Amino acid sequence: MLLTGSNMSGKTTFIRTVAVNSILAQTLNVCFAKEYSAPFFKVYTSIRITDDLLDNTSYYLEEVLTVKELVDASKNYENCLFVLDEIFKGTNTIERISGGKAILSFLNKINHIVLVSTHDIELTDLLEKENYELFHFSELIENEELQFDHKLKEGKLKTRNAIKILELYKYPTEIFTDARMTEQNNFG
């Protein structure tokens, strides 16, 4: 599953909830759902990565090392649940999307299930061809306030809210106007 969504819409919370419930169901035979039915999974995650100054590793290198553990585990024939939040957000857009697509395609084999959340809408077109189901969370802006229904919806996200959040949080008009113009002129 490739999960897209606006900022603060619940993507990370959703994939964490699935991972936690998988672990609870497999270890304590209980979960926070009406029903849980799945084979036994080894659960691997790439969530909340941080740099480590003491080990002299950057954020991106920590991501690389964490994701490598998932790649190595995927070579097993055991069922794995891979849960990734914003893969390779520690690097530039082109390499993030290219590398992310390659990794996610590699993980989505054998008996594995992959759940990934992302802001990179470009991944939806690339991974839909590789048997990823697309889902999203979205927002509604009413009376200059963000509202979320936190309902999982099929398909890819069609809205964006990052620049609107700058406006809602009283950034100078010059900033969000410039951002909108740049977005329209360069990214359609």
pLDDT at 123: 95
Six token digits for residue 21: 């419930």
| Mean pLDDT across 37-61 | 90
- Amino acid sitting at position 9: S
pLDDT at 54: 86
Q: Return the closest-CA partner of residue 64 out of 89, 101, 97, 98.
A: 89
pTM reported for the whole predicted model? 0.90
Residue whose token pair is 């957000």? 89
| Mean pLDDT across 18-22 | 96
Cα dihedral 71/9/5/48 (nearest 10): -20
Share of the chain above pLDDT 70, in %: 100
Q: Return the closest-CA partner of residue 46 out of 122, 100, 94.
A: 100
Q: Return the closest-CA partner of residue 146 out of 169, 119, 124, 177.
A: 169
Whether residue 165 contacts residue 179, with contact meaning beta carbons closer than 8 Å, is answered with: no
pLDDT at 142 over 90: no
pLDDT at 50 over 90: no
Query: Strands, DSSP E only, in the chain?
Result: 2-5, 42-46, 80-85, 113-118, 134-137, 139-142, 145-148, 153-154
| Local structure of 78: helix, strand or coil | coil
Euclidean distance between the first and final Cα of the chain, in Å?
A: 27
Burial level of 105, CB count in 10 A (0-12/13-18/19+)?
middle
Q: Where are the domains of the chain?
A: 2-157, 160-188
The CATH architecture of the domain made up of 2-157 is: 3-Layer(aba) Sandwich (3.40)
In order of 30, 152, 169, 175, 185, the CA distances from 178 in angstroms are 51, 32, 16, 5, 10
Summarize pLDDT for 61-108 with one digit per residue, the tens: 999 999 999 999 999 888 999 999 999 998 999 999 999 999 999 999
> Across the chain, what does the average pLDDT equal?
92
